[in-house]
Amino acid sequence: AQTVTQSQPEMSVQEAETVTLSCTYDTSENNYYLFWYKQPPSRQMILVIRQEAYKQQNATENRFSVNFQKAAKSFSLKISDSQLGDTAMYFCAFMLIQGAQKLVFGQGTRLTINP
Amino acid sequence: GAVVSQHPSWVICKSGTSVKIECRSLDFQATTMFWYRQFPKQSLMLMATSNEGSKATYEQGVEKDKFLINHASLTLSTLTVTSAHPEDSSFYICSASASRGDYYGYTFGSGTRLTVV
Nearest to B34 among A46, A50, A102 (CB): A102
Mean pLDDT on B31-41:
92
> Does A57 touch chain B if contact means CB atoms closer than 8 Å?
no
Q: CB-CB: which of A47, A107, A110 is closest to B105?
A: A47
Note the pLDDT of residue A36: 97
State the pLDDT at residue A101.
82
CB contact under 8 A, A97 and B103: yes
Question: Is pLDDT above 80 for B43?
Answer: yes
- Of B3 and B16, which is predicted with more confidence? B16
The more confidently predicted of residues B15 and B71 is B15
> What is the model's pLDDT at position B102?
52
Tell me the average pLDDT across B46-57: 90
A47, A37 in Cβ contact below 8 A?
A: yes
| Range from A79-83, A97-101, B100-104 that averages highest in pLDDT | A79-83
CB contact under 8 Å between B43 and A91, yes or no, is yes
Cα–chain-centroid distance for residue A61?
A: 12
Q: Is B108 in contact with A44 (Cβ distance < 8 A)?
A: yes
What pLDDT, on a 0 to 100 scale, did the predictor assign at position B99?
58
Question: CA-to-CA distance for A94 and A102, rounded, in angstroms?
Answer: 8
* Torsion over CA: B112, B8, B117, B82 (sign): negative
Does pLDDT of B94 surpass 80? yes
Interchain proximity B106–A100, CB inside 8 Å: no
Q: Where are the beta strands (DSSP E) in B8-103?
A: 10-13, 19-25, 32-38, 44-51, 57-58, 67-73, 76-81, 90-97
Average confidence (pLDDT) over A99-112: 92
In 3-state terms, what secondary structure has residue B93? strand
B100 pLDDT more than 70: no
Please report which confidence band the pLDDT of residue B85 belongs to, taking 50, 70 and 90 as the band edges.
very high
Say which amino acid occupies B81. V
- CA A56/CA B46 separation, integer angstroms: 29
Label residue A60 by pLDDT band (50, 70, 90).
Answer: very high
CB of B51 within 8 Å of any CB in chain A?
no
Shortest alpha-carbon distance between residue A98 and chain B (Å): 9
Instruction: With CA atoms as reference, report the closest residue to B5 among B103, B90, B78, B104.
Output: B78
CA distance B11 to chain A (A): 16
Burial class (CB in 10 A: 0-12, 13-18, 19+), A38: buried
pLDDT of B103 > 80? The answer is: no
**Type of residue at B115:** T
**A64 shares contact with chain B (CB less than 8 Å):** no
Q: Which of B10, B38, B43 to mutate to test the interface with A (most CBs of A within 10 A)?
A: B43
For B55, phi and psi rounded to 5 degrees? -70, 150
Identify the residue with better confidence: B103 or B44.
B44
Q: Which residues pair with A104 in a beta bridge?
A: A94
3-class state of residue A102 by DSSP = coil
Query: Of A45, A104, A106, which is closest to B108 when you measure between CB atoms?
Result: A45
Distance (Å, rounded) from C-alpha A20 to C-alpha A63? 12
How many CA atoms, within 13 angstroms, populate the side-chain half-sphere of residue A112?
6
Q: What is the mean pLDDT of residues A39-59?
A: 94
Please, which residues have CB within 8 angstroms of residue A102's CB and are 6 or more apart in sequence?
Answer: A95, A96, B34, B46, B49
Nearest-neighbour CA in chain A from B95: distance (Å): 9
β-sheet with B4-7: strand ranges across: B4-7, B19-25, B76-81, B67-73
In angstroms, the separation between the Cα of residue A43 and the nearest Cα of chain B is 7
